[in-house]
Every structure is written in C-alpha cells, then in structure tokens.
Amino acid sequence: MPLKLEGIRFAYPGREVLKGVETEVDDGEIRVVFGPNGSGKSTLLKIVAGLLTPHDGRVVVGDRDVTHLPPERRNVGYVPQDPSLFPHLTVEENIRYSERHGRGGEELFERLVDMLDLEDHLDLKPSELSGGYATRVALARALFSEPEVVLLDEPLSDVDLAAKAEIVPEMREVLKDFGAPTLYVTHDPWEAERMGDTFEVMVNGRTVRVSDVEEALEVLRTGGAEVARG
C-alpha cells in the first residue's frame, strides 16, 4: 500500500514549516529524506504517524485517508530519534507490546529476533543495551505491529560509525524484506547512501526529489536556490 502525502501544510506559532508537501512512496521503497535542522523533517514524520495534524492536505495509505485518524488506527510503525523503549519492560516485552492490541504473532517475533540478532538480549532491560541494540529493539517493536508504513527519524544518530557499518545493512535487509513504504530521515550521507532506494530534500517547506546522495548534498549546499528558481 503506497504512502501519499498531498499538499501537507503545517505551522508552529509564527513559523510555517511545511508549505504543501507532495510525495509518494511505494511498497518496499525506502525513501531517505535530507534537510537542515528545523526544515520540517521530523514534523512531517509526526504528521504521518498521527502525532500532529496538518493544517491542510491529506495523508493517504493505500486507499485510506488517515489524515484525521488517531495514531492507534493508522497502522504506522514509528521509530523516533530516541528509541523510547519502555524502561520497566524487557527487550522481549518491548517487542511484543502490540500484542496487547491484537497485533503481531509468534512467527513474526521469531523472524524479527533472528534478523536483528536479538536472541541473546531478550531478557535485558533497555538500560542494559547499547545505542545500536536499542535501535534494533525499537525497529523490531515497530515492525511487530505489522504496520502498513514505517517511519524512522534519525534512528542511528547516537550510534558510532563502527556500529553503523554492522547495523545499516541489517536494517535495510529487514525493511526490504518487510516490504512497507518507508520514510527514513538522516543527516549522514554514508548512512543514507547505503540505506536508501530514493532520496528527497526538504527545501523551503517542500520535498524535492533528487537522484542520489551527491545531488541531495548539492541542493543543501546551495540552499535550494536552483530548485526555487525552477
């Protein structure tokens, strides 16, 4: 089920952040979104997740307009920059959390644990995990709910390069295997190049498609001047 964003507008008091975002992400596609701090990347993900309501525009998943649905009715998996794991629950309990709402199953649990190499960590609490493993658990928890869309907001920002070299291929394999449209926000060109299928840059409150990471960085370097003139 593709994800479509149609004319998304949003403003904080005194500042318009999103000025008519239009984009579409297909099943199985990992779309990397670049942009400077404050450009609206996280705001856009929160709107898709249902944590914020746009002032105008629509969020469409497949043939469902979910713009005004609460988060729990959207079937969207969201991994914020801070993994936000439940500190009092074990890794296994965190992953299985959506079972309380009738989602997930044993086969999917075993598959995620195996793909994300979590077998030896299931009895640990979040405070006992490295940043990289906390991110794996957050991704497993999001996918265990069997979402139709996956959102990741700089999930590896606190992970060092050595750990990223191990985690990024695993995460990409899991996301591609899962097959949902994915929006992936990052500042890291190395990470983006290895994670993404397609790329966009937040420019002047809108998203602009670019062909690769190099073009994305050029758009950011010039401040989107050429795009704006076009």
What the chain holds in terms of domains, given with CATH numbers, is 3-84+148-229 (3.40.50.300)
Q: What is the mean pLDDT of residues 84-102?
A: 89
∠ at Cα 27 (69, 66), nearest 5°? Answer: 10
Mean pLDDT of the chain: 90
* Residues 161-203: tens digit of each pLDDT: 888 888 898 889 999 999 999 999 988 888 899 999 999 999 8
Residue 67, classed as helix, strand or coil, is: coil
Residue type, position 180, single letter = A
pTM, two decimals, is: 0.88
When pLDDT is cut at 50, 70 and 90, the band that residue 38 belongs to is: confident
Q: Give which of 147, 150, 116, 107 is closest to 134, Cα–Cα.
A: 116
pLDDT given at position 224: 57
Q: Give which of 86, 60, 70, 67 is closest to 149, Cα–Cα.
A: 60
